[in-house]
Amino acid sequence: MLSNGASLWLHRSECDWYPFQVNGDWASQEQTVRINRLVNLLDASDESWKTFVDQDCGDDLTPNSTPEKHAKGLVEWLESLKGCLRGNTWEVDIMTCALSDAQKRLKDTRSKSQPS
């Protein structure tokens, strides 16, 4: 369930391809997988989020990338997607909420991984 009370149907085995599709050039496939992995983690534990960020950061070819910088980059990327959403009003509302919820979880993961 999303923070706005909407329920989002998630696929149990095809987590890379559901519920969203990013359209565009050849890089869209990678973006579709990334966004769906994040959305499918919404109800997951903090540890699952940390593991995702660590693994996704390991796949990032950006020099000097750290999990904290990578999570920040994911938050910014999700924010940039909000302006590109298409669909009926209720679909855009649900997608916006899902992206915002994922951003919140990434920010929470970053703050918990930093030393006190």
Q: What is the pLDDT at residue 115?
A: 56
Query: Given pLDDT bands bounded at 50, 70 and 90, which one contains residue 77?
Result: very high
**pLDDT tens digits for range 17-72:** 666 766 666 567 888 888 888 998 998 999 999 999 999 888 776 777 899 999 99
Q: Find the DSSP H helices in 1-116.
A: 28-40, 46-59, 67-82, 89-113
d(CA 41, CA 57): 16
Closest CA to 51 of 39, 61, 41, 43: 41
Residue 105 in contact with residue 99, Cβ under 8 Å? no
Which amino acid appears at position 7 of this protein? S
The dihedral through the CA atoms of 52, 30, 60, 93 has a sign that is negative
Q: What is the pLDDT at residue 42?
A: 92
DSSP 27: T
d(CA 30, CA 86): 19
Against a cut of 0.85, is the pTM above it? no
Answer yes or no: is pLDDT of 116 > 60: no
Q: What is the pLDDT at residue 33?
A: 85
Query: Given pLDDT bands bounded at 50, 70 and 90, which one contains residue 78?
Result: very high
